[in-house]
Chains A and B, each alone.
Chain A
Amino acid sequence: MYGHLVRRLLQFVVVLLLGSVAVWGFTFALPGDPATVLLGADASAAELAAVRARLGLDESIVGQYLSWIGHAVTGDLGASYYSGQPVVSDLFDRIPATVQLAGFAMVLTLLIAVPVGITVALRPYSVVGRVLQGYLTAGLAVPTFWLGLLLIIVLAVRLRWLPASSDYVPLWENPAGALSATILPAAAIAVHTSSVTARFLATSLGEVMGKDYIRTARAKGVPERDVIRRHALRNASLPTVTVVGLQLGGFLGGTVVIEAVFNYPGLGRLLYTAIGERDYALVQGGVLFVVATFLLLNLLVDVFYAVLDPRIRLT
């Protein structure tokens, strides 16, 4: 098992390094020199040179990378070209909002996906099963940002039950306010992700239910409830864990459009704005953060997986 984990950890480090080179590299491919962007087109050559020196743009390419990554590992991602604030503090301003939205969306996803997946797998031809299969098909087909728009039209514009744009309200300061501000974007995301997750769960549960050990468990008189809970669900949940891990990773940087729909001040909006303003330092730092978090989550899922399933350790 340790061999597997060590190898997995090495892969994580390699990909993270590769990612840091790519993240650092592709902001160089962006059109426009940051010094020109900052000062405008009619700046003098001396002014441009001064700003380039301040931003470290006059060093060699390798030197720039090494100094960037050197600072990055100590938690210094430079200063935003635009606000002049440290990138890390800009990021940390938005991370709580993104984590809160991701958390709400994940809780909703699991609350919907688990019962729906189980029902669809066990009773696919019942009335409820068919209705839920319809939900899965629809949930996969409806784009989250359009669902967000519909929710705004109905619940905010027509019925005026909830606010149309969602500010970040910290959960620990004002739970009710946080709920009402975050529930709409979270629901818009969760309809899609719950359909994906439920389909996975239903498929693997359906496969497991045909296995010999389920028949054995039934034959020795285990009540059906326990057959499903102890024997089937535990085995079927493994592939689903991977999907949920990937989704959680996706929530951290991938909800750009949903955040735009609801004017939600998360990480996605920050990066989108930074890209528009050609704030290289902020884009670099933000994308690096998203990539690192995603890779770390994936690593954790794999470790979790190896702990749950002894067979994985051999491969």
Chain B
Amino acid sequence: MSAGSSPLRRFTRSRSAVVGATGMLLLVVLAVFAPLIAPFDPTAQDGDPLLGPSGAHLLGTDQLGRDILSRLIHGAQASLIAASGAAAVGAGIGVPLGLLAGYLGRWVDAIAMRLVDLLLALPGILLALVMIVVLGPGRLNLVLAIGIGAVPEFARLTRVATLAVRDRDFVMAARGMGASTPDTMLRTVLPNVLGPVVIQVVVTASMAVVVEAGLAFLGLGTPPPAPSWGGMLQEARSYLYQSPTYGLFPGLCLVLTVFCLDRIGRGLQLAVSGGPHPATRPSTGGAV
């Protein structure tokens, strides 16, 4: 490893990571400036229904004559909100849980880990489905429902990382100098376990994109008429015979988003682990 290889340098040196980061940046710009970029109003029914791609409507129109391209651009918002929100919820609950379990050990650990085992036992999409019915529809509840499913992974990897540093000399030193338990956990242990957490944030984001789309496909995602890629796929499913291209584009958007996040995740892995070690641990989620 060369002298000046900081994590950021290692990240930017990985070509696929840069490709992924650029793609995500582009997507964020599209989502934020959607009203300025989209050629049409995403909810305006101003074309003939189910047109194929043409000069006026580059990707065609849906069953109500709405411009598919404009709906895709606006739909990026739903995916990105779900992705960032679910990652925040998952990390926000899972990291403290794992930190407490790993650092305090004993009964705290036992209780926290049984809770984690329980959450893991319910497949993500089913958990989210039940949560949405309990909480009711809406964007915030959607984020909560998906995020809760991401808690176990955050808790587990934070716990493992905490266990690995708990008895190291620098933690002992902090305690020896009189730092309280909460202070040691937050200031000394937490910064040293964040590496795997950052990677998990990206993995969770890509899981959330797929689960949000799956829920929208079942009619339980982002409430209409706001466009979402999963919701568009649900509509496209009813018109497979009339307009086969309709179902193509929302899925491609999903694929590109997940692809970019996957590349970023791999880049981060290189950056954190400090070398081209291919020890990737792909998420098991996503098979909805």
Contacts and interface: CB of A to CB of B under 8 A. Distances in A.
Given A18-B114, A257-B217, A275-B130, A150 B259 contact: no
Contacts of B136: 31
B121 A275 contact: no
Contacts of B214: 143, 145, 256-257
A268 B283 CA distance: 21
A11 interface: yes
Interface residues of A, number: 62
A199 B255 contact: no
A294 interface: yes
Interface string B222-243: 0000000000010011001100
B287 A243 contact: no
Given A30-B134, A250-B287, A143 B255 contact: yes
A131 B133 CA distance: 43
B125 interface: yes
Contacts of A202: 278
Interface in A152-168: 152-153, 157-158, 164
B80 to A, nearest CB: 16
A14 B126 CA distance: 22
Residues of A contacting B: mostly: helix
B147 interface: no
Tell me the dominant secondary structure on chain B's binding face.
helix
A303 to B, nearest CB: 16
A157 B123 CA distance: 31
Interface string B251-285: 10011101100100000000000000011111110
Contacts of B278: 202-203, 206
A272 interface: yes
Contacts of B250: 146
Contact of B251 (A22, A149, A257, A295): A149
Interface in A132-158: 137-138, 140-146, 149-150, 152-153, 157-158
B58 interface: no
B195 interface: no
B125 A15 contact: no
A268 B214 CA distance: 13
A149 B237 contact: yes
A160 to B, nearest CB: 11
Interface stretch (A75-83, A188-196, A228-236): A188-196
Contact of A291 (B114, B122, B124, B287): B122
**Residue among A29, A142, A146 facing the most chain B CB atoms (10 A cut-off):** A146
A208 to B, nearest CB: 12
Given A18-B118, A146-B233, A257-B218, A157 B286 contact: no
A271 B126 contact: yes
B110 to A, nearest CB: 9
Nearest to A144: B287
Contact of B279 (A203, A243, A272): A203
7 contacts: A142-B258, A150-B247, A200-B282, A253-B126, A254-B288, A257-B214, A291-B122
Interface of B: 114-115, 117-118, 120-126, 129-130, 133-134, 136, 210, 213-214, 217-218, 233, 236-237, 240-241, 244, 247-248, 250-251, 254-256, 258-259, 262, 278-284, 286-288
Interface of A: 11, 14-15, 18-19, 22, 26, 29-31, 137-138, 140-146, 149-150, 152-153, 157-158, 164, 189, 192-193, 195-196, 199-200, 202-203, 206-207, 243, 246-247, 249-251, 253-258, 260-261, 268, 271-272, 275, 283, 287, 290-291, 294-295, 298
